[in-house]
Amino acid sequence: MSSATAAIRYPHETPPESGTAIQVAPGVLWMRLPLPMALDHVNVYALDDGDSWTIIDTGLNSRRTKEAWNQLFAGPLAGKPVARVVITHHHPDHVGLAGWFVSRGARLLTTRTAFLLTRMLQLDEQPGYTAEALGFYRANGMDAAVLAQRETERPFNFADCVAPLPLGYDRLQEGDTIRMGGRTWDIRMGDGHAPEHATFWSREDHLVIGGDQLLPSISPNIGVYPTEPNADPLAEWIDSCQRLAPFARDDQLVLGGHKLPFFGLPTRLRQMEDNHHSALDRLLDHLSEPRVGGDCFPALFKRTIGPAEYGLAFVETVAHLNHLLALGQVSRQMGPDGAWIWKTSQSRLASATG
């Protein structure tokens, strides 16, 4: 079967239960930790370095996650210490317990961007949404009821679920290699979901550790936030899919941050890029009539967006709008209520009808 037609395939039908591990390759253990959200788990991995373990990602800083780790220490990881913790990117479900592992004697390895962002956000605890954040939400057309609620509630803070990081770390860089689990891995960076997201590609066999950059059946969130309101992370995501594609093969077993390990990476990279191009086309059609950002959910999402998903859907909508703006395919003007009004550009409409 060619790379152009190969399907996504799953060698393991069920994930490991809490406190247990599945060996997915010699010296490589797959473990799963709980998350208190709709996506109720994160995958982490242990690589056997002989006299110690290297851990890939950690889960949230929570009592429940620590209990799961203590089960693992007493079970499949028993007998050897964790000498290194490698963090793929700065999101809390991946970096949350990195500082805890360091306090137990491990070294921290991650990218400079992941380290600095985690350390900054962990220290930046806010009792309420800032005026800048509320202005961003208003400008991008957040639902009035949601915005009113945010004006009075405490926002999510990294300090809620990310342990303090140490002062120092070992840096992972694009083009470097790292020795883990008896293998040499090439380090390749992705972007879009998280800046400078590390992925690892084994030279000895057909293993890829993909974090959230390479997932089989869900698309990672691509979002724009008040800290960089005019960012275009979708362009970075599409560029990353294209840059990683030449290294992808159908026989590589991809170990992602969520869902199941899978084969069929060339197909999946193409799918992830195509999915966003299709969403952009639907959004352009939707914007043939002027709309604010919060009114664009139906064009992008094939399900009803409830309160639990609203925040992620909102920032992903802004990402798609910003990308179309950067391409010159939409225009925007500020409305009387302080929200951008978006509309497909006349040149785009003319080309579509001509």
Q: How confident is the model at residue 303, as a pLDDT?
A: 83
Is position 317 within any domain? no
Q: Are 57 and 200 contacting, i.e. CB atoms less than 8 angstroms apart?
A: no
What is the dihedral sign for C-alpha 179, 185, 188, 191?
negative
Rounded-to-integer distance, Cα 272 and Cα 337, Å: 36
Domain assignment present for residue 292? The answer is no
User: How much of the chain, in percent, has pLDDT values that exceed 90?
Assistant: 92
The predicted structure's pLDDT at residue 352:
53
Nearest to 280 by CA among 315, 221, 231, 325: 325
Among 9, 204, 34, smallest CA distance to 44 is for 34
pLDDT of residue 3: 42
* Within-domain flag for 326: no
3-state secondary structure of 122: helix
The confidence score (pLDDT) of residue 2 equals 38
Bridge partners of residue 42, in order along the sequence: 33
| Rounded Cα distance, 221 and 152, in Å | 26
**Is 88 within the bounds of a domain?**
yes
For 45, the domain range is 22-285
Mind listing the pLDDT tens digit for each residue in 150-174? Answer: 999 999 999 999 999 999 999 999 9
End-to-end CA distance of the chain: 40
> Are 323 and 234 a contacting pair, CB within 8 Å?
yes
pTM given for the model: 0.94
Residue 298: inside a domain: no
Strands 41-48, 28-34: pairing kind: antiparallel
Per the domain annotation, does 142 fall within a domain?
yes
User: Under 8 Å CB-to-CB from 10, ≥6 apart: which residues?
Assistant: 216, 260, 261, 262, 263
CA distance linking residue 46 with residue 76, whole number of Å: 10
Going through 35-101 in order, the beta strands assigned E by DSSP cover 41-48, 53-56, 82-86
Q: CA of 264: how far to CAs of 2, 10, 28, 315, in Å?
A: 10, 9, 20, 29
Burial of 267 (0-12, 13-18, 19+ CB in 10 A): buried
DSSP letter, residue 303: S
Please state the domain count of the chain: 1
- Domain assignment present for 143: yes
Write out the E strands in the chain.
22-25, 28-34, 41-48, 53-56, 82-86, 107-110, 170-171, 177-180, 183-190, 197-202, 207-211, 253-256, 330-334, 340-344
Q: Which long-range contacts (CB under 8 A, 24 or more apart) does 303-311 make?
A: 307/146, 308/37, 308/38, 309/38, 310/143, 310/146
What tokens does 245 get? 């594609």
Contact 216, 8 (CB under 8 A): yes
Answer whether residue 309 is part of any domain. Answer: no
Q: Which residues of the chain have pLDDT under 50?
A: 1-4, 353-354
The label of the residue with tokens 């992941």 reads 114
pLDDT (tens digit per residue) in 174-206? 999 999 999 999 999 999 999 999 999 999 999
Instruction: Identify the CATH number of the domain in which residue 120 sits.
Output: 3.60.15.10
